[in-house]
Amino acid sequence: MKILVQKFGGTSVATNERREMVVDKIEGAINKGFLPVVVVSAIGRSGDPYATDTLINLANSVGVSSNPREMDLLMSCGEIISCVILANTIKKRGFESIVLTGGQAGIITDENFGDAEVLRVEPQFIYDCIAENIIPVIAGFQGKSEKGEITTLGRGGSDVTGAIMGEALNAEAVEIYTDVEGVMTADPRIVPDAMVMDTIYYNEVFQMAEYGAKVIHPRAVEVAMRSSIPLLIKNTMTDSAGTLITNCDKNRRYRYDKRDKLLTAIAHVSGRARVRIRFDGSGGEYESDNQLFNTIAAEGISIDMINVNPDFKVFIVEEINIEKLKEALGKYGYNYELRTNCSKVTIIGNKMRGVPGVMAKAINALAKQNIEVLQTSDSHTTISCLVESVNANAAVNALHQEFDMGKTTV
């Protein structure tokens, strides 16, 4: 079976006109000899009648919080509504279609309501539908537990559903349809000459998502990477080729990326605070790396850009965790300094591995714009610079220009 999984985001199914465009994509796949399996998100975005955030706000308007189990029941409704409406649109075109919840599609999860982990997929019913030329339309973002409880996979989980179904069905590819042309070198709202990439590797797009770019859910990339299923990010409203997310498998023929650039993309994330803790004796017996990091972990606070020195420790946290961190550090008498309103700007690219001078070039680019670098961290394929948030946009543009990533250089 030549199966193609097609996942459509909330904006893609928000209006009658766009749903007709979705069916155009499905029909196009059929005409190319594929057997489509469709995954959909809830209609629209916050404020729209059936969007997930709208449903959550409706529940909270009563003044009593729902428990996680009941909240999952509620949140699963948005995708089911999308499925029914899209399936009817498909039927109007003369194709047979069936609506399935995540559980009915065979997605079995644990009972971590709100952020469930997929344990396995039982795809036989999907195969049965395909064999009878029935197009399955599956509600994204959800599954069911071993006990039959409805669960959700965490926000953005419809991407995960698409990838999971692609893996379970051994699909030729998974197409992720949205309202952008593909994966871009930087946020086009910040960098006017950001461009769509033809091809990007799994680990690079995974890093982009991890470092702040809202491209695709990181867990979806993990699934595709482990099963070597190509992902395509495409625009529902155009016939653009989009961006192919793949690996380095030389046995497959993928489109060649004509952009022979050192870097792949630039991502950024704001709302960070820099923490500097001095080991000057004020914390007494608690001044050990072990004790400090265990104390922070016990509060459920994630830290990043860690720099460990015998006399001081420096790292960043999300600003939403500042009060909790201050309370924990104050309890043990640590001497610390906080710098808020920071952003982490990250350059990403497999080709920088082992290339000397990349860090120097990045720092020089920021220095030319009088942007102070508060801290850095790096891996083989990433370099992150911490800057004041007021300088974040300028930093992204400076790096994008310095490494010749724009449209005019292609």
* pTM of full prediction above 0.95: no
Each residue's pLDDT tens digit, 125-162: 999 999 999 999 999 999 999 999 999 998 888 999 99
Q: Distance between CA atoms of 285 and 319, rounded to whole angstroms?
A: 28
Instruction: Identify whether 200 is part of a domain.
Output: no
279 and 170, same domain (yes or no): no
Count of domains forming the chain? 2
* Predicted confidence band of residue 261 (pLDDT cuts 50, 70, 90): confident
CA 6 → CA 3, 37, 92, 158, distances in Å?
A: 10, 6, 19, 11
Task: Please tell me the distance from the alpha carbon of residue 384 to that of residue 268, in angstroms, as a whole number.
Answer: 9
pLDDT of 249 strictly over 70: no
Calpha distance 397→78 (Å, rounded): 38
Q: What is the pLDDT of residue 260?
A: 61
Q: Domain ends where: 132, 164, 179?
A: 179
The model's pLDDT over 198-238, given as tens digits with 9 standing for 90+, comes to 888 888 888 888 888 877 888 898 899 899 999 999 999 99
* In a shared domain, residues 273 and 402: yes
Query: Domain for residue 338, yes or no?
Result: yes
State residue 255's pLDDT score.
Answer: 43
Asked if 271 and 139 sit in the same domain, the reply is no
Residue, of 355 and 86, whose pLDDT is higher: 86
Full residue range of the structural domain in which residue 319 is found: 265-409
**Mean pLDDT over each residue of the chain, to the nearest integer:** 91
Q: Are residues 270 and 167 in the same domain?
A: no
| Cβ–Cβ under 8 Å, residues 216 and 222 | no
- CB-based contact 376:234 (threshold 8 Å): no
Q: What is the pLDDT of residues 371-380, one digit of tens each?
A: 999 999 999 8
Q: Using one digit for the tens of pLDDT, what is the confidence trace for 391-404?
A: 999 999 999 999 99
CB 35 within 8 A of CB 130: yes
Give the mean pLDDT of 31-59: 88
Domain-embedded: residue 141: yes
CATH number (domain holding residue 107): 3.40.1160.10
Does 254 score more than 50 pLDDT?
Answer: no
Give the whole-angstrom CA distance, residue 169 versus residue 171.
5
Q: Which residue has the tokens 């950001």?
A: 194
pLDDT for the residue numbered 218: 85
The pLDDT score that the predictor gives to residue 410 is: 37
Is the confidence at residue 335, as pLDDT, over 50?
A: yes
- Is residue 141 within 8 Å of residue 161, measured between CB atoms? yes
Mean pLDDT in residue range 57-86: 91
Domain assignment of residue 217, yes or no: no
Residue 118 resides in a domain: yes
Q: Do residues 278 and 386 both lie within one domain? A: yes
Confidence of residue 387 (pLDDT cuts 50, 70, 90): very high
Residue listed under structure tokens 């952008």? 180
Last residue within a domain, chosen from 157, 179, 201: 179
Is residue 258 scored above 80 in pLDDT? no
Residues 28 and 170 occupy one common structural domain: yes
Domain-located, residue 22: yes
pLDDT at 47: 74
Last residue of a domain, one of 179, 206, 241: 179
Q: Is residue 379 part of a domain?
A: yes
Q: For residue 291, is pLDDT > 70?
A: yes
Specify the pLDDT at position 2: 95
Q: Is 249 a member of any domain?
A: no
Question: Are residues 398 and 276 both part of a single domain?
Answer: yes
Residue 252 above 50 pLDDT? Answer: no
CATH number, domain with residue 364: 3.30.2130.10
pLDDT > 90? residue 1? no
pLDDT of residue 217: 86
Q: 96 by DSSP, 3-state: which? A: strand
As a whole-number percent, the residues of the chain with pLDDT over 90 amount to 71
- Contact predicate 220/167, CB 8 Å: no
Rounded to 5 degrees, φ, ψ at 338 are -120, 140
